[in-house]
Amino acid sequence: MTPRQRFRSSLSALAVIAAVGLSCVSSVLLGSSNAGAAPASSDSSVTKTVVATRTHQVNGVDVVADTRKVSLQVETTNNLRDQQGISVSWTGAHPSANISLDPNSESAFQAEYPMVLLQCRGTDSASAPVSEQVSPQTCWTPFYGTRSQLNNQGEDNRNIDVGAFPAWRLDRYASQADRQQFANEPATTAPLCPNSHSAAEYRLPFRAANGKLYYGSSGVNSDSFCGPPPPEAAAHADQNSAIDLPDNATFAATRADGSGSALFNIRDNQTNASLGCSSTVACTLVAIPILGISCDGGAGLPAADRPAATAMLPNLPQDAETECERAGNYPAGSPQVTGNPQQDYSVSGSLWWSASNWRNRISIPLQLAPPSNVCDLVSTKTPVNVYGSELLVQASTQWSARFCLDKQRSPFKHVQFSEPQARNLLAAGTIEAAFTSYSATNPYPTPTVHAPVAATGFALSYTIDDTSKHAYTKLRLTPRLLAKLLTESYPFAADLRQMYRVHDPYYGDINPLKNNPLNITFDPEFQALNPGIPASAADVGGRAALLSIGSNSDVVHALTAYINADPEARAWLDGKPDPWGMVVNPNYRGISLPVETMPGLDSFTYPAKYGAEDSCTFNVDPPVPFLPLVSAPIARLVDIAQSVQYAVPGSQTRCTNARNDLTNTNYFQWTRAQKQTPGFRFLIGVTSLGDARRYGLNTASLQSYSTADAATKFTDDSGRSFVAPTDDALRQTAALMKFAQDSTGWPVPYDQLDSKAGAAAYPGLMLIYADIPTRGLPAKDAAAYAAMLKYIVDGGQQPGSGAGQLPAGFLPLTAANGLGSLADYSLHAADLVAAQGGGAMQSPGGSAQPPVAQPASASPSSSVQAASGRSAPQPTSTSTSTVAGKSSAAPRPSAAAPSRTPALRSLGNTVGQSDFIGRNLALLLIALVLFGPVAVPTTLVIARRRGGR
């Protein structure tokens, strides 16, 4: 019972007694009528340069309109995985105009002179078979307007009527077939193919991996636009869906100096089967610096089909050429005009496929890694399973691929699972091995090694736009700011802040949050450390809470241990206001840290029937506690990484009106907030360092050491050191770790981090250990685990992105990093696992201990049976799964599948609720019932005796 609950119970007990007493008083009246009551390793960076030109042909003479030497660099091109973000940068391109804030949006192609980045199936090589060559037909950009050109008479963007001669028909480099008035129409007569309203039409079908041609494009009613789009096209990825993957076609902006950069999102055939890229199907990143159509005034067209003056359009030949030669309507750098932008068609992204633009392309071959489920596909052997740490996913995916691609080895599979639960399962003998970051609180019943396999950590990843609407990249966070985000102490909305009440035993109903900033962007502490981030009350979900993990996790343990070790944060949690007067939410005051899961404790609800009639505060009855909806943690770390990547806050604060078809009624429900608008994004989430590096997320610098006076307001970072999760900073932390006999591991010394010695050490480092019993495993499994352990600490510590290597975000366990003793320890542990003699580890380099006596219940034979006979627990997910696109069922936040897993579904021990009211009340009632029969005669006797005297 928390003090609060105890208080409530005693309050109720008091109320019961008071009520009984009150009734007593009244019944006395009745009875007697006469009485009174970290940065990624760039192992495969590629740079290519091309000279792009736009050369018109005027009266048979070449007129060079524009020449650019474009140089494009791609950070990594090898071993790419699904949804990996690869950094692309370029110089020398034409500055862009009419720029969309979101380069992946449906309207981004309307920019003038964008840099078009597309993932295309095939290789860009004339020597390859035609079916395996890159062409515009194999490039993924399903937006309507980038594939279908319906040029309506008199409806040209600049209001000059060019009749049936839009710019692409004057393209001097295009083939005759592509310059027809109705070009590339499908052979079968689909409705509106060609569209009878159009003066000219060009259709660019998408050729799927299975050969099917899709003439439709996304965002519009498929039937009226020449057939359906490919199934993976994100129909309305921008606005209405919370989690649908946006398309990866990128129409990025080039700055005024000709440079630009973008984070390009790779898709493999699991997410985009129509595109079909995989480790065996070659794909190419095609970058097209749009320069515009090279026009010939129609000279290349057949004589009968050239622009000619008509009565209606007397200046048609000149107008068509003028329109085609246009060089931009908007000044460089201008933001996109909403509504009906008047961009110059010939230099817009619409015509990226035209021969004039396509010839300027830069092609970068992409080499995808074997899919994460490669083991399921190629290996016939049954893998041994290791349950646990989500932090290890990126590494274990690469390691296990190596194991199952090698016929000699027996494979292992990493099943992602909450670490505390994995430890419980291991103790129960349900599973054979666990990856975990802390040692078990109760010793395992069987001798078990606790062998370090990787050094990585958590990262505070973020997607934040600054005042100029560009990505902010210098986020700095203090433990106190993290504590504020985790304790529901930002009141989210002004009306909530005003109405918020908690009951205080001494002062009655009080509003402790009344002086707290609405969200972190209004917090002077945050503003002092992160200048240039606009304070905003929009999209508050991401600004008022940290996107955290909802299941029990060692990551939360490490994060809260870091917060707990900071004197400022701890004092604030204990009720001391920060220098600006912000206080902790009273429900969390004095909370004991570290914890494995951060509870949602606030119970404030809006009053019933509050707000507008179509709002959820009005309709959801009874009202649910609101601030826990804001903090709404997510079940898995990889989902947080992807939510940060696509800027989808976790908050369940969006009100939707859904229809229950079974009862024919409408109802309101709280659902997950929408994807944030690019330019105004703000989202911070807890991710693993490996995921952050893999998906190209920005990671925050965390405060390690502070000499600043805790009681004074500050406006800059003086006296505080902030550390980004670089390999160097991880190494600094590793240097401070010492082997601890009691917990058999190398704990992160948070108290030392907050000192001068730890000023450059990253506090988010976490070691991951393999917990494997040294007795009772079947010989075959034991050998497999031992081989796995041996490989991991030896070959598996080579940095790289290939199978068997250690990905970015992990610090190799090598002597060079000061972690050689850990690797040696694990090698020795592997021997003990292989021997299965019940040996226990003593200390680094120590020898095996004689087997210790075991309780009878944990005898080897019974635990073997338990391991094989008991049903394996349901994994949170296996390492093979990623957030899938349309091709498979995407995890969709809905009330039916709450992202916050109810505690009763977790493993562990039953937690009971006890209550003392019953006992106290029963005693009181018994006393009262007996009181009358005893007291009445006694009183009478005494009274009589006195009266008789």
Partner 1 sequence: MSMLTTDRSESIGPVPGARRRLNRSAIRKLLYGDGPIAPLSLPVVSAVWTAAALSALAAWFVLYAVVLSGLQQDRNNSVLYPQLREGLSGATTPIGGAIAPGTPIALVSAPVAGLSDVVVVEGTAPTDLRNGPGHRRDTPLPGQAGVSVLFGRSRTYGAPFKHIAAMQKGQSLTVTTGQGSFTYRVIGVRRAGDPLPTPLAAGGSRLMLETSTSTGLSSSNTVFVDAELKGASVAAPPGRLTGIPRNEQAMGNDTSGLIKLVLWAQALLLAMVAVVWAKARWGIGQAWLVGLPLILAVLWGATGNVLMLLPNLF
Site for partner 1 in 879-918 (CB under 8 A): 894-896, 898-900, 902, 904-918
- In angstroms, give the least distance from the CB of 416 to partner 1: 14
Position 941 contacts partner 1 (CB under 8 A): yes
Round to whole Å and give the CA distance between 363 and 685: 34
Q: Which is nearer to partner 1, 146 or 585 (CB)?
A: 585
Q: Which 651-670 positions form the footprint of partner 1 (CB under 8 A)?
A: 652, 658, 660-663, 667-670
DSSP state of 94: P
Placement of tokens 């009273």 in the chain? 586
For the purposes of burial, counting CB atoms within 10 Å of the CB of 654, is it exposed (0-12), middle (13-18) or buried (19 or more)? Answer: middle
Round to whole Å and give the CA distance between 243 and 226: 28
Structure tokens given for 172: 């001097």
Quote the radius of gyration of the chain (alpha carbons, Å): 34
Q: Which of 356, 204, 334 is nearest to 289 (CA)?
A: 356
Which of 23, 45, 47, 240 forms a contact with partner 1 (CB under 8 A)? 23
Q: Which is nearer to partner 1, 64 or 942 (CB)?
A: 942
Round to whole Å and give the CA distance between 647 and 669: 22
Q: Which is nearer to partner 1, 251 or 604 (CB)?
A: 604
- In angstroms, give the least distance from the CB of 655 to partner 1: 13
| Residue type for position 258 | G
Position 28 contacts partner 1 (CB under 8 A): yes
- In angstroms, give the least distance from the CB of 905 to partner 1: 6
Position 613 contacts partner 1 (CB under 8 A): no
Structure tokens given for 333: 């750098």
Round to whole Å and give the CA distance between 664 and 756: 66
Q: Which is nearer to partner 1, 536 or 906 (CB)?
A: 906
Which of 303, 853, 856, 929 forms a contact with partner 1 (CB under 8 A)? 929
Position 608 contacts partner 1 (CB under 8 A): no
Which of 58, 510, 624, 759 forms a contact with partner 1 (CB under 8 A)? 624
Name the 3-class secondary structure at 7: helix
Tell me the window of 29-37, 109-117, 164-172, 818-826 that interacts with partner 1 (CB under 8 A). Answer: 29-37
Q: Which residues are CB-contacts of 471 (< 8 A; sequence separation ≥ 6)?
A: 463, 464, 465, 698
93 and 289 Cβ atoms separated by less than 8 Å:
yes
- In angstroms, give the least distance from the CB of 927 to partner 1: 8
- In angstroms, give the least distance from the CB of 546 to partner 1: 18
Position 940 contacts partner 1 (CB under 8 A): yes
Structure tokens given for 818: 């000061």
Tell me the window of 39-47, 86-94, 522-530, 924-932 that interacts with partner 1 (CB under 8 A). Answer: 924-932
Position 29 contacts partner 1 (CB under 8 A): yes
Neighbours of 359 (CB within 10 A): 14
Which of 873, 881, 884, 890 forms a contact with partner 1 (CB under 8 A)? 873
- In angstroms, give the least distance from the CB of 630 to partner 1: 12
Round to whole Å and give the CA distance between 568 and 254: 44
Which of 57, 367, 536, 605 forms a contact with partner 1 (CB under 8 A)? 605
- In angstroms, give the least distance from the CB of 4 to partner 1: 10
Binding-residue pattern over the window 829 to 868 for partner 1, x denoting contact by CB under 8 A? ----------------------------------------
Position 12 contacts partner 1 (CB under 8 A): yes
CA angle 771, 775, 780 (to 5 degrees): 90
How many residues can be counted in the chain?
949
- In angstroms, give the least distance from the CB of 619 to partner 1: 9
Q: Which is nearer to partner 1, 9 or 726 (CB)?
A: 9
Position 159 contacts partner 1 (CB under 8 A): no
Placement of tokens 């921008």 in the chain? 238
Name the 3-class secondary structure at 738: coil
Q: Which is nearer to partner 1, 660 or 741 (CB)?
A: 660
745 and 737 Cβ atoms separated by less than 8 Å:
no
Which of 2, 6, 7, 8 forms a contact with partner 1 (CB under 8 A)? 8
Q: Which 228-247 positions form the footprint of partner 1 (CB under 8 A)?
A: none
Q: Which is nearer to partner 1, 211 or 912 (CB)?
A: 912
- In angstroms, give the least distance from the CB of 946 to partner 1: 9
Dmax (CA) for the chain in angstroms is 143
Q: Is the omega angle on the peptide bond into residue 799 within 30 degrees of 0, that is, cis?
A: no
Placement of tokens 């009340």 in the chain? 921
- In angstroms, give the least distance from the CB of 19 to partner 1: 5
Which of 174, 559, 629, 772 forms a contact with partner 1 (CB under 8 A)? 629
- In angstroms, give the least distance from the CB of 914 to partner 1: 4
807 and 690 Cβ atoms separated by less than 8 Å:
yes
Which of 3, 31, 60, 129 forms a contact with partner 1 (CB under 8 A)? 31
Name the 3-class secondary structure at 704: strand
> What H or E segment, with its residue span, contains residue 822?
helix 820-835
Helix ranges (H only) for 431-546 are: 479-486, 494-499, 524-529, 540-544
Q: Which 413-452 positions form the footprint of partner 1 (CB under 8 A)?
A: 428, 430
According to DSSP, the β-strands at 384-388 and 412-416 are parallel
Distance, CA of 652 to chain centre:
15
Q: Which of 835, 910, 908 is nearest to 426 (CA)?
A: 908
Read off φ and ψ for residue 831, nearest 5 degrees. Answer: -60, -40
Position 20 contacts partner 1 (CB under 8 A): yes
Binding-residue pattern over the window 190 to 209 for partner 1, x denoting contact by CB under 8 A? --------------------
Structure tokens given for 73: 């660099």
Position 874 contacts partner 1 (CB under 8 A): yes
Q: Which 666-725 positions form the footprint of partner 1 (CB under 8 A)?
A: 667-670
Q: Which of 718, 639, 671, 831 is nearest to 245 (CA)?
A: 639
Which of 3, 33, 127, 131 forms a contact with partner 1 (CB under 8 A)? 33
Tell me the window of 21-29, 266-274, 305-313, 447-455 that interacts with partner 1 (CB under 8 A). Answer: 21-29
- In angstroms, give the least distance from the CB of 219 to partner 1: 26
Q: Which of 161, 116, 155 is nearest to 139 (CA)?
A: 116
List Cα–Cα distances, 23 to 13, 27, 35, 342, 605, in angstroms: 15, 6, 15, 80, 33
Q: Which is nearer to partner 1, 651 or 836 (CB)?
A: 651
Strands of 92-164, DSSP E: 115-121, 148-152
Give CA torsion, residues 933, 935, 936, 937, to 10 deg: 90
Q: Which is nearer to partner 1, 60 or 947 (CB)?
A: 947
214 and 274 Cβ atoms separated by less than 8 Å:
yes
Tell me the window of 204-212, 452-460, 883-891, 935-943 that interacts with partner 1 (CB under 8 A). Answer: 935-943
Q: Which is nearer to partner 1, 77 or 553 (CB)?
A: 553
Q: Is the omega angle on the peptide bond into residue 142 within 30 degrees of 0, that is, cis?
A: no
- In angstroms, give the least distance from the CB of 915 to partner 1: 5
Count residues contacting partner 1 (CB under 8 A)?
Answer: 92
- In angstroms, give the least distance from the CB of 935 to partner 1: 4
- In angstroms, give the least distance from the CB of 666 to partner 1: 10
Which of 131, 188, 338, 871 forms a contact with partner 1 (CB under 8 A)? 871
Round to whole Å and give the CA distance between 697 and 699: 6
Tell me the window of 16-24, 89-97, 143-151, 345-353 that interacts with partner 1 (CB under 8 A). Answer: 16-24
